[in-house]
Amino acid sequence: MDVYWLEQNEADVAAENQWLSEGESLCLTGMRFLKRRTDWRLGRWTAKRALAACLHLPAGLPALANIEIRTAPSGAPEVFLLNHSAPVTISLSHCAGMATCAVAPSVTSLGCDLETVEPRIATFAADYFTSNEQALVERAIAEDQPLLVTLLWSSKESALKALNAGLRLDTNSVEVSLLDALPLQVEGTPPQANPVAPAAAPEGWRPLQVRYSGSQVFCGWWRHANHLVRTVVSAEPLRSPISLLHSSQDSPSALSSLTVCS
């Protein structure tokens, strides 16, 4: 299965609000805090730009108001076009002035996450990771542990979103496995003795799996760039994410292989 993704930053977002639907404008008006409004607008903008590229829709500001992102009772985002449910599934995440949106067929469970790579408190892994994940972190050298901890946490976040549960579920109910040699140095292993990692997929994506409650397996991908980790997870077998950054409505559909959106 193909999944498509787009990242935007706060500078990309239109200053005016004419790209919001009436319902979205009302929702924005009810937000008291500037950071909450800024993050919310960034997420909606990123999702609408991604959907316009995927669905061959006009990308002008008034036209984007015809795309509405509503919040389901589970907290997951749902897409409506002119008040009709759209045949796509999206997942959103924002962090450090950036937002990412993943888009896939509506028949799948999907989750994505965006996290800043930074040191965590010493008890973080013990509080949120399984014993196998803690062991993986302990084997990495100290300077590589922030990336690894961030990657494991982000993968869990994506899987919990795909389960439509978020952090209402125990993070230990999902366990992350990395499917190729992590580009990290393992403590006590000479660099020349490290296994050679397979070539990464386009744009540096690398595969992972997340197992839920020991039975259900989610396929996923991760990418590290500009001090941020991105993860995308799906219940369906998943090819590496395809960027929508350079797509336009005048070019062949970025979602041409996603027949539900054609």
Q: Burial level of 233, CB count in 10 A (0-12/13-18/19+)?
A: buried
Tokens of 127: 């509080």
Among residues 260, 247, 243, 249, the alpha carbon closest in space to that of 3 is found at: 243
Q: What is the pLDDT of residue 255?
A: 45
Q: Are 150 and 188 in contact (CB under 8 A)?
A: no
Q: What does the pLDDT average to over 187-204?
A: 52
**What CATH superfamily is the domain 4-108+242-261?**
4'-phosphopantetheinyl transferase domain (3.90.470.20)
pTM of the model: 0.86
Confidence of residue 195 (pLDDT cuts 50, 70, 90): very low
Tens-place pLDDT, residues 145-167: 999 999 999 999 999 999 988 77
Same fold across 4-108+242-261 and 113-234: yes
Q: What is the pLDDT of residue 133?
A: 96
Confidence of residue 199 (pLDDT cuts 50, 70, 90): low
Residue with tokens 């008040």: 83
Q: Are strands 67-71 and 4-9 parallel, antiparallel or unpaired?
A: unpaired
pLDDT over 50 (residue 187): no
Q: Are strands 4-9 and 242-243 parallel, antiparallel or unpaired?
A: parallel
Q: Are 134 and 125 in contact (CB under 8 A)?
A: yes
Q: Using CA atoms, how far apart are residues 146 and 151, in angstroms rounded to an integer?
A: 8
pLDDT over 50 (residue 173): yes
Q: What is the pLDDT of residue 92?
A: 97
Q: Are 175 and 130 in contact (CB under 8 A)?
A: yes
Fold that domain 113-234 belongs to in CATH: Ribosomal Protein L22; Chain A (3.90.470)
* CB neighbourhood size of 28 (10 A): 15
Element (H, E) at 188: none
Q: Using CA atoms, how far apart are residues 239 and 243, in angstroms rounded to an integer?
A: 12
Domain borders along the chain are: 4-108+242-261, 113-234
